[in-house]
Structure 1
Amino acid sequence: MMQTSVHKSEKMPWRKTKRWWFWLMLFLMMGTLMFIFYYSTTEVWPLSRSSESCNNLTTAYDFFPAYPHPYGFIMDEPHRCRQERPFLVLMIPVAPHNRGARDVIRMTWGKNTTVQGHVVSYYFLLGLSEEGDGAEVLEEQLLDESWRHHDILQSDFMDSYKNLTIKTMVMFEWLNSHCPNTSYAMKIDADIFLNVHNLVLMLMTAPRHLFMTGCVAWGSAVLRDHDSKWYMPVSAFPESIYPPYALGLGYVFSMDLPIKILEASLHIKAIYLEDVYVGLCMRQLGVTLTDPPHSGLFRVSTPFFAGSCYWSTVITSMLQDSDQLRDVWEIYQTQLLNGC
């Protein structure tokens, strides 16, 4: 009897453990089923909506911006690029009202106008303001800003996210007609840290013809989720995979490409995703994009634990916003002083 009671007492903890594991697994299974049910109704359901319901939410213009079109320039620097004959031109699309972003760039990487003996020029590319009653005052402020800095290019399209393709193609038009003696140009967003020194070093050994590089997306899936910022309907782009394209946050190209991209655009209906549209034009030309010398040069985001020499080793790195650029620039300068 003594041995039997000991044996039973040894089994009791195991039975409790099995019972605990049973309830744990049941809880996990129920949680998994609830998770699947939730996402099947919130994420999968929009994908099964009819095209008719989609048309109630958006218009064709949302996906097909008005390009080509004879856009003109309200503010221009018609002779500066020819006179400076820069090795590299930096084109920065920015909203008309975002004076703060322009000033921060002027005080940080925009100051680097000569690198490794090569002239670097930069311009801010703007459209028209959507601010309504305040637009007239803003235009007066932009005129004063242009007079002070001579770096404002403003075209007569409405400046909005859906018109970024127009903005990009107007950029190619301007570069093609104003910078005949330039080797390279770069489209770069205002909320990006740019290491101009590393960029020029890379370009000094880069191809001079049919060259475009940056953070290249290979085999990127087309997003059909109506709730996505980058939603693309089948009616606008029937393929399931985009051709290779350089992410619009910052890409650099040889100056023989603008005219070729403009010519290719005559055969391709414009879509609102500007970087994808440039990729479509490149495919039309039969030109393959080039990956950078190594993958760490063009960063989509900044690592949480950036190394002590991080900013001195990259070419671009996306920031939270342009306000962060001032602080990052000070860190970068300190890294250079410390031998990075």
Structure 2
Amino acid sequence: DRSHPALRSHSSPKAPKSKSKSQVKPNQTSKGKSKMKVKSSRKNVTPTKAAANPVPTLPPFDFDSYLREKDNRNFQLLIDQPEKCSVAGGGGGGSSTAPYMLIAVKSVAADFEKRQVVRRTWGQEGLFQNGVSIRTVFLLGIPRNQSSLPLWDRLLAYESEAFKDILLWDFEDTFFNLTLKETHFLQWVNSSCPDVRFIFKGDADVYVNVENILEMLRGQKADEDLFVGDIIFHAKPIRRRSSKYYVPEFVYGAGLYPSYAGGGGFVMSGHTARRLSSACQQVELFPIDDVFLGMCLQQIGVKPSRHEGFRTFGIIKPSAAPHLQTFDPCFYRELMVVHSLTVPQIWLMWNLLHDPNLSCHNRTNPTPCLSPPDSGLSVNKVCVKGGLDVHGRARGCPIRRRFALCAYRSAF
């Protein structure tokens, strides 16, 4: 995702078939037949101009053009799924027909294989623990380089017909237009899925332990504010022109960004999503979508909660135990989200975790857990398998769970 370690400074802590078909917004012809748009006719997209004499230190973005076009907020929805959130008995035992959790995955047209592995693994739709219903959508824009994916429009139209999970908007799918993807998705939730209880939103290159997320949400109220992820506190804008995340002072003059979630994946309540939909229409658009969403959270007065199970920057071996294998199913089964995985890795981890022969150390036995080196703490505690609550504390553990070595040691 867009978040970069240089920004990070923690100072605190199979599915029931729908009777309705997905809708592809048509262009009407004289014969009354419909045909999806092949390319965007909108001019309000964010182009990147090639420099006359390319220099490695030049910013990868034309901020003058961005400033001219950034107030263009409303783009047509070309492929819709209007019945996505109509689910009989999807409220987890209640009378609501809305899904308990909606999974929204940022994608681009060319990433068909990534969408497929998500559909077949952690993004599966259906009924899960206690009968709760889960639905999945993929969020896309118009590909910039359409010649690299011939007939991309046909691909997405066929995908939508087959899987009924594609949302496509009429803006170019570029790094700096991800903010538009954020605002348009929130508008779609507000209009097409207003009663959803919880939302997981993330990238296609993550592994998500949906069972752990459902465990975390147990007891949470969907009509209250909730925003949980790998929260980045006190991040400073990057002024280095060679950085992908370079933001000049005339675009953002403050010294610190508001707290925001690394975009690999986060969870929010439907209530918070509806409030964000309104707030994001009032906040000036910003070219980094993770930071922009943090600005919207600040606008509504919601403080995001950091959870140790969300690993936006992947898994790094602890310096105290460099021999440990980070790609271990007994470790992954204790986490919520792990970012930056390949398609084979996601497929492999899914199958490893669902292997009936998988055997991990008994979590009920006392296990010494060492806190991270930067915490200044070295404590022993008992890790009891029972999931993590919304604050990242292990249920059944006497103190806050810190993942540096605890999950490893409890896995062997």
Deviation at residue 63 of structure 1 after TM alignment: 6.7
Q: 1:336 to 1:187 in 2, by over 3 A?
A: farther
Other-structure match for 1:198: 212
* Distance 1:64-1:186 versus aligned 2 partners, 3 A rule: farther
Name whichever of 119-128 and 307-316 sits farther off: 307-316
Kindly indicate whether residue 106 of structure 2 is the aligned counterpart of residue 102 of structure 1: no
SS in 2 for 1:256: helix
Judging changes above 3 Å, is the alpha-carbon distance between structure 1 residues 191 and 57 closer, same or farther for their aligned structure 2 residues? closer
Q: Which residue of 2 aligns with 1:114?
A: 127
Q: How does 1:142-181 map to 2 (within 5 A)?
A: 142-181=156-195
How far off is 1:289 after superposition? 1.2
Q: Is the 8 A contact 2:231 2:259 kept in 1?
A: yes
Q: 1:227 aligns with which of 236, 242, 249?
A: 242
Write 1 or 2 for the structure with the bigger share of helix. Answer: 1
| Distance 1:297-1:281 versus aligned 2 partners, 3 A rule | closer
The TM-score with structure 1 as length reference comes to 0.77
- Show CA shifts across 1:136-185 (max 9, x none): 61101211111111111111111111111001111111111111221111
State the TM-score, normalizing by the size of structure 2. 0.64
1:281 alignment counterpart: 296
2:337 aligned residue: 316
- CA RMSD across the alignment: 2.4
Gaps of 5+ in 1: 1-52
Query: SS where residue 250 of structure 2 aligns?
Result: coil
Q: Percent identity, aligned pairs only?
A: 24
Q: In the alignment, is the contact (CA less than 8 A) between 2:194 and 2:274 conserved in 1?
A: no
With over 3 angstroms needed to count, the CA separation of the structure-2 counterparts of 1:226 and 1:207, relative to structure 1, is farther
State the Cα distance separating 1:299 from its structure 2 match: 4.7
Q: Which runs of 4+ in 1 moved over 6 A?
A: 53-57
**Residues 65, 163 of structure 1: 8 Å contact kept:** no
Conservation of the 8 A alpha-carbon contact between 2:329 and 2:349? no
| Pair 1:89-2:87 in alignment | no
| Higher alpha-carbon Rg | 1
Q: Which residue of the partner structure matches residue 352 of structure 2? A: 331
Indicate how the Cα distance of structure 1 residues 101 and 211 shifts in structure 2: closer, same or farther if over 3 A, else same: same
In the other structure, the counterpart of 2:7 is none
Q: Is the 8 A contact 2:103 2:136 kept in 1?
A: yes
Q: Cα offset for 1:64? A: 7.8
User: 2:329–2:352: 8 Å Cα contact kept in structure 1?
Assistant: no
Please state how far the C-alpha of 1:66 moved relative to its aligned partner: 3.2
Give the secondary-structure state (helix, strand or coil) at the position aligned to 1:223.
Answer: coil
Which gives a bigger RCO, structure 1 or 2 (Cα 8 Å, sep 6+)? 1
Stretches of structure 2 lacking an aligned partner (at least 5 in a row): 1-56, 89-97, 318-324, 362-412
Matches within 5 A, 1:176-255: 176-208=190-222, 209-255=224-270
Q: Is the 8 A contact 2:107 2:139 kept in 1?
A: yes
2:225/2:269 contact within 8 Å kept: yes
